[in-house]
């Protein structure tokens, strides 16, 4: 009987430590997710600026074509500018969609293992947003140089 109480207490202590470790993991993952978000969010201003610059470039090319100046180069450049503008739009939509769906406060109320799974999933999503955003911005900047 004495051994079973000791064994029970030992299991209880180990389970409690495991829960604390999982809670720490939840907090760590949430912080990582928010850090990535905070890196990407300011890039939305760059996206808006680049979209405006691309739109002006497209208008300029359209004006040239309206004046009767046309070439394959202008047509190809216009297609590329429209494509880059679409990529920037997609980056913006991805971020807005991620933010709209993010439920960090609700996730923290879940069982620790479920919260860990949620924040790991959100980390993957926001990393994807970051990757797409950086790529679309870099491509647009290169094109506009």
Whether 16 is covered by a domain: the verdict is no
Whether pLDDT at 16 is above 80: no
Tokens 């709209």 map to which residue? 100
Q: How far is CA 80 from CA 9, 54, 58, 61, 143, in A?
A: 67, 10, 10, 12, 8
Mean pLDDT of the chain: 88
Higher-pLDDT residue of 17 and 76 is 76
Distance CA 21, CA 64 (A): 64
Residue 7 has pLDDT above 70, yes or no: no
In a domain, 15, yes or no: no
Q: What average pLDDT does this structure show over 46-64?
A: 93
Range of the domain at 117: 22-144
Inside any domain, residue 1: no
Tell me the CA distances in angstroms from 50 to 60, 63, 68, 126, one per residue in order. Answer: 15, 20, 27, 21
Within a domain: residue 39? Answer: yes
Q: Is the separation of the CB atoms in 18 and 111 below 8 Å?
A: no
Tell me how many domains the chain contains. Answer: 1
Q: Between these two residues, 66 and 122, which has the higher pLDDT value?
A: 122
Q: Are 38 and 127 in contact (CB under 8 A)?
A: no
Q: What is the mean pLDDT of residues 105-116?
A: 93
- Is pLDDT of 92 > 90? yes
Lowest mean pLDDT among 57-66, 86-95, 102-111: 57-66
Specify the 3-state DSSP secondary structure of 108.
coil
pLDDT at 23: 80
């Amino acid at each position: 009987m004495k051994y079973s109480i000791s064994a029970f207490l030992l299991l209880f202590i180990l389970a409690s430590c495991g829960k604390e470790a999982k809670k720490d993991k939840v907090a760590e993952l949430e912080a990582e997710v928010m850090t990535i978000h905070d890196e990407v969010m300011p890039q939305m201003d760059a996206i808006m600026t680049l979209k405006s610059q691309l739109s002006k470039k497209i208008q300029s090319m359209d004006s040239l074509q309206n004046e009767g100046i046309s070439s394959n180069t202008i047509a190809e450049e216009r297609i590329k500018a429209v494509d880059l503008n679409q990529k920037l739009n997609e980056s913006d939509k991805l971020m807005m969609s991620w933010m709209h769906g993010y439920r960090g406060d609700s996730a923290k109320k879940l069982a620790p293992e479920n919260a860990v799974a949620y924040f790991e999933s959100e980390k993957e999503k926001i990393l994807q947003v970051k990757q797409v955003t950086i790529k679309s911005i870099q491509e647009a900047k290169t094109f506009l140089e």
